[in-house]
Amino acid sequence: MVRSRSAAALKPQDAYLQIGEVAERTGVTQRTLRFYEEKELLKPPTEIEGGFRLYSEEDIRRVEHIKQLQKLLGFTLADIKEMVEAEEMQEQLRAEDRAEADPEERRRRIARARELTERQHAVIRQKVDGLLEMKSRLEEKLQDYRAWLRELDA
């Protein structure tokens, strides 16, 4: 077992995964993972010992999220990168100690995060609207077909 070496050495809990496992679990290839890293969609995960990439569960969620955005929105990786970066910023915001920060600074950040989220929301709403329209057109068609088939039965 190769993978018990550095991961175990670093974290006995076996919290880190090698690229092969991540690939398997997320359904993408190792090549894709390295490619995403190259494009800075994934930050170079904590690499340790012999230059092996070691991923966290968080990294896995991120990969899954990227794939979802790709499938659902049909965006380019560049677009997705922007979205993901925005989301990351927001998580930072969420995580930081609320009382500690300068209120004015904090307000600006929240406002910025909100803007980004609102833009994403608008994009998605547009897509959903278009798709819902297509969907109902298809449903009408299906109605027609069913009616015609009944007609033929008579």
Partner DNA sequence: TCAACGGTCACGGTGCGTAAGGGTAT
Partner DNA sequence: CATACCCTTACGCACCGTGACCGTTG
Which residues make up the interface to its own copies (CB under 8 A)? 68, 70-75, 90, 94, 98, 103, 106-107, 110-111, 113-114, 117-118, 120-121, 124-125, 127-128, 130-132, 134-135, 138-139, 141-142, 144-146, 148-149, 152
Whichever of 20 and 61 has its CB closer to its own copies, that residue is: 61
Q: Rounded to whole angstroms, what are the CA distances from 150 to 11, 25, 143, 153?
A: 66, 47, 11, 5
Both tokens of 35, joined, read 């490619």
Q: Which residue of 50, 58, 97, 104 would you call a contact of DNA, by CB under 7 A?
A: 50
Could you tell me where the beta strands, DSSP code E, fall in 41-80? 47-48, 52-55
Whichever of 79 and 87 has its CB closer to DNA, that residue is: 79
Per partner kind, with CB cut-offs from 5 to 8 A, the member of its own copies, DNA, none near residue 138 is its own copies
Q: Minimum distance between the CB of residue 153 and its own copies, rounded to whole angstroms?
A: 9
Does 11 bind DNA (CB under 7 A)? Our answer is no
Contact 47, 39 (CB under 8 A): no
Q: Minimum distance between the CB of residue 120 and DNA, rounded to whole angstroms?
A: 17
Surface-to-core class of residue 135, CB atoms within 10 Å of its CB (0-12 exposed, 13-18 middle, 19+ buried): exposed
Find where tokens 């550095």 sit: 6
Does 52 bind DNA (CB under 7 A)? Our answer is yes
Q: Minimum distance between the CB of residue 99 and DNA, rounded to whole angstroms?
A: 40
Q: Minimum distance between the CB of residue 42 and DNA, rounded to whole angstroms?
A: 12
Task: Indicate the SS3 state at residue 95.
Answer: helix
Q: Rounded to whole angstroms, what are the CA distances from 55 to 67, 70, 95, 128?
A: 17, 21, 21, 34
Give the interface with DNA as residue ranges (CB under 7 A): 1-5, 18-21, 28-32, 34-35, 39, 47, 49-53, 70, 75-78
